[in-house]
A and B are shown apart, each in its own frame.
Chain A
Amino acid sequence: MLFPSWAFLLFLAVLVPVYYLVPKRIQWIVLLLANGVFVCFAGLLGAVFMAVTIVTVYAASRGIDTLFISQRDTLAAMKATHTKEERKKERLRFEKKRRGILVACLVVNFGILFALKYGAMLGRLSAGLFGTKAFGQDLALTMGISFYTFSTVGYLLDVYRETIPAEKNPLKLALFTSFFPLLVQGPITRFETAGKALTEPHTFSGERFLSASLRIAWGYWKKLIVADRLLVAVRALCAKPDVYRGDFILVEMLLYAACLYADFTGGIDITIGVGEMLGVPIEENFNRPYFSKSISEYWRRWHITLGEWFKRYVYYPLSVSKPMRALSKGTRRFGVGVSRRVPVYLATLLVWALTGAWHGSNLTFLVWGLLNGAVILLSEELKPLYARFHARFPRLTESAFYRGFTVIRTVLLLSSLRILDCYGTVKDAFSSFFSMFTTWNWGAVFRGGVQSLGLSYFDYAVAFSGVLAMFALSMVQRSGAIRPRILKRGTVFSVCVLLVLIGTILIFGRYGFGFDASQFIYNRF
């Protein structure tokens, strides 16, 4: 069930009234049933994988929780009768058991994710190396598995770290895992926020409904008017790396930047709006990312929940892990600077390699991830140089011109890296990117080039108007969220804004017969 489909709107139109009409104590059960319908619509295979995740994570979290309780009781009982050494040994024995359960559960869940993401690639590799029949070709990535696996594993790791207690009711864990708005393209949520809100009773609020509707409509607006329109041109450019070269690549980079932003933020707007409509707050995943002044800042503002997840569950634990500490100690003879940097470098590159791998099985994603890591590390190394530059030219670096320059530089840099996302091979991506510096063909771009990409001048005009509208709203957002300001101006005004959004979607959106009901780009990750 795609977000941009009648089926989804009908699903929502039935669910919302039912959700608020049933007794509050069973609202979460209604939601769980709705999730079941949504998941089954996407395919029974996906439902089976999700069931495996729910069952294994529930069993593991309960097992770990029980071991914590047993450990506390045992150690308390041993306090008077056993030595400190014996108690430590007992504690380690419990820790080992807990770790065993955790690792087993992680292996199962990441194993499924790995098999689905990389099965086809390994099949091709095996066929290439050993001449065997390719396998795993039809193991399609089931809906939302990357997102719900990370959310649920995050919950398990929190239980393992004793940050939160294990949920006793398996159905409530199932509700958290399968919450339908999150299955399309995240965000990756935490059990302690969304998990609790999902099972709490909710009362209908007209203002919240209107606010949520505005957010949902804005999401559809970005998706159907801007993203799906620009995607046509981006796909055309990516499909022929040998034809579209030189300055076409700059066009591609900029179109893809706008397209991806409209697509991903549009989808997240719908997700958050649907959550809000049901009284469930969902974490924000973006904070005006294209206004970032550096790549590291950009990654703190784009797909925030994925970055947070890797930071919380991979980067920090890895940086302070025993092997890293040992490595740092071992490299001390090369100087303090080196020994301080080695664990940071390794952890950063590993996290970025994993981030790349999370996005897809192609080598392009891995290279993309590593390049992001490398740029971030390079920026860190250049910080003293920047500081000296800022000190030397304070008036320049504090000017709006310089701020604008850093923003544009960051957008161009991240768009350059994203080229890897557009092509099937690293070779095509690099070859296309570097052709920008060797082939000057602006003439060809504007003399028929852009019209050959499947869009008319009208389409470009609509898309660029949409991009301008998004930019203008982002500028306004600097002084605070927009929706409260709209709602503050009264119900009639808010309804008018909503109707204008819906009306413009209906007229200028790319939907219906003859258009692809395209899935969100991030859904394929």
Chain B
Amino acid sequence: MKRKLLIIGGVLLACIVCFGALWAVSRLCAPKYHDTLIDGHLTGEYYRETTDHDVLFIGDCEVFEHFSPVTLYNEYGITSYIRGGAQQLVWQSYYLLEDALLTETPKVVVYNVLALKYGEPQSEAYNRLNLDGMRWGSAKIGAIRASMTEGEDFMSYVFPLLRYHDRIASLTAEDFTYWFSDGDPVSFKGYVMHTGVDPATETPTETYEKKLPESSILWLERMAALCEAHGVSLVLIKSPSIYPLWHPEWDAEIAAFAKSHGLRYDNMIAENDAIGIDMQTDTYDQGQHLNVFGAEKLSRYFGAVLRDEFGLADHRGEAAYDADYAALTARYEIGKHE
């Protein structure tokens, strides 16, 4: 009996040591997204938040590079967070929202509609950027299942070593620095700051489907239903940009959708002048995305809309928020002037 117990103990110990070693190697091999390709860090950063938010921005790069929660707070006292990711597909946005609603109930959810042009999973790399950082739960499982491209398997999301093991040959200092630590946040409540200027030159043309994919619209329906179920106002926006193009047919389709569901829809491409966006100075990549100067202008403009239309409270003066935003603003200003 004693011998059997010793064997069982030995086997268990061997398994624990082996799994421990594999866990450590798995952490080492997984991309850290801290110094390079920081978009992958955004999803996970949300879980570090200690305060609630009145506004949640959901969508792709046109939210996480176009809206500054720091400006919204400092100008209007609006508390907000951006759950955005690179090429974040509509079903990923849906599940990220579902995940967020487990722990907080914002008053307004703002969804940028550009990603509706994708009706099918697009790229494994972007899936990984957006989903690896999500906490485990039914929302993450749903997001993975909906997002997997050909050749991907669910197991590799559960055990990241199965996906990233080949990185063992190309580890960098970043991998060792953030082996067991997530490091400082790379964003400002989900906002990724760009300070460079690269003026827009010309507007490219492209061929396109006149109608948005049916599957995207179905996911948007689900998102509207989810917000309604939680008593959250859903606002649809199209953030200002020159490219990727947002075609008039798509605009009309979303406007009709918003009308039929009683939602507000703002296509802000047409409001560039009112916002004060100048694509010669407010973009860092020739009109595709806004730099920090453009993002602040847009935040000031849209903050007023949120305050006036949805009656959002001014939280300035509340100790918890002030402390949070003071530290964030200090870091933000350093980043802006670097």
Measured CB to CB, the residues of A under 8 A from B are: 6, 456, 458-459, 490-492, 495-496, 499-500, 502-503, 506-515
Contact = CB atoms under 8 A, between A and B. Distances in A.
Looking at A458, A511, A513, A515, the one whose CB has the most chain B CB atoms below 10 A away is: A513
How would you classify the secondary structure of chain B's contact residues: helix, strand, loop or mixed? helix
A390 to B, nearest CB: 49
Contacts of A512: 153, 156, 162-163, 165-166
B161 interface: yes
B145 to A, nearest CB: 15
B168 A507 contact: yes
B152 A513 contact: yes
A104 to B, nearest CB: 45
How would you classify the secondary structure of chain A's contact residues: helix, strand, loop or mixed? helix
Contact of B14 (A492, A506, A507, A515): A492
Given A507-B25, A513-B152, A495 B14 contact: yes
Interface in B3-29: 7, 10-11, 14-15, 18, 21-22, 25, 29
Interface string B143-157: 000000001110110
B7 A492 contact: yes
B169 interface: yes
A511 B162 CA distance: 8
A491 B7 contact: yes
Nearest to B29: A507
A61 B178 CA distance: 68
A499 B18 contact: yes
Q: Which 5 A-B pairs have the closest CB atoms?
A: A492-B10, A458-B169, A499-B18, A495-B11, A496-B14
Interface residues of B, number: 23
A490 B7 contact: yes
Contacts of B161: 506-507
B2 to A, nearest CB: 14
Contacts of A503: 18, 21-22
Looking at B124, B153, B166, the one whose CB has the most chain A CB atoms below 10 A away is: B166
A6 B7 contact: no
Contacts of A496: 14
Given A506-B162, A511-B162, A512-B162, A491 B10 contact: yes
A460 to B, nearest CB: 11
Contacts of A514: 151, 166
Contact of B151 (A490, A495, A507, A513): A513
Given A456-B169, A499-B15, A507-B22, 20 more contacts: A6-B153, A6-B155, A491-B10, A492-B7, A495-B10, A495-B14, A496-B14, A499-B14, A503-B21, A506-B22, A506-B162, A507-B29, A508-B165, A510-B166, A512-B163, A512-B165, A512-B166, A513-B124, A513-B151, A514-B166
A492 B25 CA distance: 23
A182 to B, nearest CB: 26
Contacts of A492: 7, 10-11, 14
Interface string B297-318: 0000000000000000000000
B207 to A, nearest CB: 30
Given A6-B155, A492-B10, A503-B21, A509 B165 contact: yes
B227 to A, nearest CB: 34
Nearest to A494: B11
Contacts of B18: 499-500, 502-503
A132 to B, nearest CB: 36
Contacts of A6: 153, 155
B82 to A, nearest CB: 28
A396 to B, nearest CB: 45
Contacts of B156: 512-513
Interface string B195-232: 00000000000000000000000000000000000000
Nearest to A510: B166
Nearest to A516: B151
Contacts of A495: 10-11, 14-15
30 contacts: A490-B7, A491-B7, A491-B10, A491-B11, A492-B7, A492-B10, A492-B14, A495-B10, A495-B14, A495-B15, A496-B14, A499-B14, A499-B18, A500-B18, A502-B18, A506-B161, A506-B165, A507-B25, A507-B29, A507-B165, A510-B166, A511-B162, A512-B153, A512-B165, A513-B151, A513-B153, A513-B156, A513-B163, A514-B151, A514-B166
